[in-house]
Amino acid sequence: MSRSISRAEDRPSGFQPLSAPRSLTQQLFMRLAADITSGKLAAGSRLPTEQEMIAATGVSRTVVREAVAHLRAEGLVITRQGVGAFVAQNVRRPFRLDF
pLDDT in tens, 75-85: 999 999 999 99
Note whether 28 and 77 are within 8 A (CB).
no
User: What is the average per-residue pLDDT within 16-22?
Assistant: 69
DSSP state, 79?
E
pTM for the structure as a whole:
0.72
Find the helix or strand (DSSP H, E) in which 18 lies: none
Looking at residue 22, its pLDDT comes to: 78
